[in-house]
Structure 1
């Protein structure tokens, strides 16, 4: 058995083991909003709603990617019964496929390619195992950068493939288009520079490569246009567009958002920021390089470990309550930076085609979200995966023979702690539900069938299902859910009558605007989850009761009916 085959078997073994572990984990945790939103959004398009017209949430484009997956599932599974678990497993399969692609592409790095591929697989933003705009954007950006940093014999087909991946990233996070534009600018600069100097063109920065990448992205764009305009006209889309982009967080001044990116990283990783700054300054000032490179690496890894331990093993406890599975992505990226700076033989392609674009994307993720450090830290998975390779290269090159073994041992210990923290959090961290020991109630029906949750959530969930059964909703009905209960949209054939399946409050100013523009969407049933009769005095309630809606209290909320 040759060496490459042994490495592949080792990778497949770990991937299979982690897949089985995480598959078991999918049966625990009831996420009331985020995860259900991702599924209910694509479900409304499956029912026939028009993208960019009937749906007004500004992240909706990701559903174009998940739509074929959902249709494939419904081809064999003819209802939404247990759909949440099915989608979770589908996400694991997609993640495993992406990890395998990365492993295959990174052949030039030898056996160590196992580590960044598995690192991607053992992480997921917020531990929400779903095909979301976050997981899709991170995955597609990673696929682009891995391809560009790893392929040895660059051909047009590779650029075309990167274009397809880039289109996927842009659909999940439109800000990612700036990476594509930046690549085009670099290709243009490279073209004129090489032409002036009469030098051979770098195939990775050639105009030809950019054109083929553009063709790959254009192919997806054509499919997207066909999908969108098969259900709506341009005038309808333009009417809704101003409401879709209505978002106060994204309208904050550029400099304010830009500054907050660095302020937030400094706030949560203060010690490592200072250590890294001192080490970089020392490296620049030490012109004769009397300070050995291995010392920089040791100090940086020592500075990173406390944050990995704190956020990885104590971030989901009484010590500090943070989303540790996101937070532990950042420390490794600092190590990667120091590793590249101190490396004797620098892998410029790895650094400039993966690590640096990955860092830029974390800034773009910050501009695209209103979640602050949470999404930013999660997006650091991309440069941190590259940092594993950069650090290994530096460790392998930099120390004397007597030190090499000890430096490698520190590197292995560092990565072991990081991987254990990721796996631990992937298994125990629950977003939006109680801690694992309290998830003792199994849901027996509906879209969340098979999932274990808390006793309290089971009662709430069952009450809602019973209410829906009493309402006897049909395909002729139009349902609008107020409050945090978007799973209701998945439990019926009724048409979605909301401008978004995301959590909607009765004070939302877009509600009357939506029905003014789409009177055909006026609901026949409005279910106000968690509300009581005191709501009847609100402007929202009055606006519907004046139209003839009848109200009644049910088990879990107030209902407005117009039938």
Structure 2
């Protein structure tokens, strides 16, 4: 069954994340600061060490595919990149636009004699083969379990089941503006000073003469932002390194021999993914930070490239004294301070990873080991263990079979895993919230509409917390409760068929 499935999926997540990080470092290790880039991805990219999810699979797939695009030479590697790209698109459909842009780039460069391997037509064919392979398997899998009509209705409900409704171009723009404001509040120094420094240097034709000044200003903005984050320890720390993208962007602007592949395939892809997450998630800057972690990864590589080029130039130039030398030392100190603070953030992150468990108590208070259900094997606090076992005991009393339909009137994905039966909800993650307000009446109406549309999803057994918007009275609109056993506890109503 599903006993211990949560712990198993956490191990799967760690394996996937470690494998992608090792692969990325193995291919990029000759790039300066590649080690910092991989560490930043490994520690700061996930929302937390939870489990494999569509976000984590998307991000891991994008990193691995982008590294292959940058460093790949052989056809099997590009087939693998196509497979990885299709994983990312299946998890986050708007990313299909990346493949369209890639095809357009190959078409534009078709007559160019000097072009990178990934822009060659034969490698586009290899990537397409990888994509088609996964799409075929996915299509066969879906059609073997449902007809076209059922799939169409399922897609409809997939969009309705979001935490809050957002449709249309204006809604998208509104979400982006809100997230930009959140970023400004979280990192005012980087948002203002970093943006101005990058924008001015971009349009400055004599930027190389003033490169040290631009670098000092950008480093100062990043330094202030990162320093402020050291005093904000919390479990949602994947957004902490976002300010570093300004230093990466500035280094790219100031580099003479630019790393266009890293900038486009990693930095810009991260920006696009962050914009997508900003619209599809209600976690705000925390979610956007997960997408931008790809840009942070690229920023370390871009900063390393600038440093290597600057070092080569210094070796070929006679030493200068006076104001220029002092300014150059100021730039070195600024860059070293930023890198040093990044190292401090990494140390802080490692400590927090050990001290804090996602949505639970600090490690020292996790004294109870769960022995049954989907969370078997995890350690938690006595209070959380008590609430967990109340639901597990309710599931045992309901005794759902594989062919039964079960319903939980709260945010309980783990309970559905523990029950290991058909779902009677439009979503196992159904909190309808916006700006920290939970609209229970909206959720109740959605569940009511779902059961009207799909009466085959009416539950054979249900667990209804007393503060749930789905009440026994609402359920009685669809089923005759006289044919069911109803057990009332201090926390919930538990319902099962009398034949059980």
TM-score of the two chains, using structure 2 as the length reference: 0.85
- Note closer, same or farther for the CA distance 1:384–1:550 as it changes in structure 2 (3 Å cut): same
Is the partner of 1:558 in helix, strand or coil? strand
Equivalent of residue 449 in structure 1, options 376, 383, 400:
376
- Note closer, same or farther for the CA distance 1:265–1:182 as it changes in structure 2 (3 Å cut): farther
Q: Residue in 2 aligned with 1:43?
A: none
Q: Residue in 2 aligned with 1:325?
A: 237
Q: Residue in 2 aligned with 1:526?
A: 462
TM alignment of 1:300-315, pairs within 5 A: 300-315=218-233
Deviation at 1:367, TM superposition (A): 2.6
1:560 aligns with 2:478: no
Contact 1:440-1:455 at 8 Å conserved across structures: yes
1:299 aligns with 2:235: no
Q: Residue in 1 aligned with 2:159?
A: 245
Deviation at 1:240, TM superposition (A): 3.1
TM alignment of 1:384-533, pairs within 5 A: 384-398=296-310, 400=314, 403=329, 406=333, 409-410=336-337, 412-503=339-430, 507-531=443-467
- Note closer, same or farther for the CA distance 1:560–1:426 as it changes in structure 2 (3 Å cut): same
Kindly provide the CA deviation profile for residues 402-432 of structure 1, in whole angstroms up to 9, marking residues without a partner as x: 7497566435413312322332333334432
1:212 aligns with 2:139: no
Is the partner of 1:346 in helix, strand or coil? coil
Deviation at 1:228, TM superposition (A): 0.5
Contact 2:189-2:221 at 8 Å conserved across structures: yes
Contact 2:461-2:497 at 8 Å conserved across structures: yes
Contact 2:374-2:414 at 8 Å conserved across structures: yes
Higher relative contact order (CA 8 A, sep 6+): 1
- Between Structure 1 and Structure 2, how many residues are aligned? 470
Contact 2:444-2:470 at 8 Å conserved across structures: no
Is the partner of 2:146 in helix, strand or coil? coil
The 1-side partners of 2:478 and 2:454 are apart by 16
Equivalent of residue 25 in structure 2, options 93, 103, 107:
103
1:180 aligns with 2:99: yes
Is the partner of 2:14 in helix, strand or coil? helix
The 1-side partners of 2:81 and 2:186 are apart by 34
Deviation at 1:545, TM superposition (A): 4.3
Once the two structures are overlaid, the 10-residue window that deviates more, 519-528 or 261-270, is: 261-270
- Note closer, same or farther for the CA distance 1:239–1:81 as it changes in structure 2 (3 Å cut): closer
Contact 2:223-2:337 at 8 Å conserved across structures: no
Contact 1:150-1:350 at 8 Å conserved across structures: no
The 2-side partners of 1:82 and 1:384 are apart by 34
Q: Residue in 2 aligned with 1:265?
A: 183
The 1-side partners of 2:352 and 2:36 are apart by 18
- Note closer, same or farther for the CA distance 1:412–1:462 as it changes in structure 2 (3 Å cut): same
Q: Residue in 2 aligned with 1:165?
A: 84
Q: Residue in 1 aligned with 2:141?
A: 227
Q: Residue in 1 aligned with 2:435?
A: none
Is the partner of 2:464 in helix, strand or coil? strand
The 2-side partners of 1:158 and 1:169 are apart by 17
Runs of 4 or more, structure 1, over 6 Å off, are none
Is the partner of 1:314 in helix, strand or coil? coil
Is the partner of 2:429 in helix, strand or coil? coil
Report the aligned-residue RMSD: 2.9
Deviation at 1:218, TM superposition (A): 0.8
Once the two structures are overlaid, the 10-residue window that deviates more, 484-493 or 268-277, is: 484-493
Equivalent of residue 142 in structure 1, options 63, 69, 73:
63
The 1-side partners of 2:468 and 2:342 are apart by 52
Deviation at 1:219, TM superposition (A): 0.6
- Note closer, same or farther for the CA distance 1:549–1:335 as it changes in structure 2 (3 Å cut): same
The 2-side partners of 1:290 and 1:446 are apart by 62
Kindly provide the CA deviation profile for residues 232-262 of structure 1, in whole angstroms up to 9, marking residues without a partner as x: 1212212333222225533152332343343
Deviation at 1:124, TM superposition (A): 4.2
Kindly provide the CA deviation profile for residues 507-557 of structure 1, in whole angstroms up to 9, marking residues without a partner as x: 433323433444333211111135499944x43444444674443203541
Deviation at 1:369, TM superposition (A): 2.1
- Note closer, same or farther for the CA distance 1:267–1:184 as it changes in structure 2 (3 Å cut): farther
Is the partner of 1:511 in helix, strand or coil? helix
The 2-side partners of 1:307 and 1:430 are apart by 25
Deviation at 1:361, TM superposition (A): 1.9
- Note closer, same or farther for the CA distance 1:255–1:496 as it changes in structure 2 (3 Å cut): closer
- Note closer, same or farther for the CA distance 1:533–1:423 as it changes in structure 2 (3 Å cut): closer
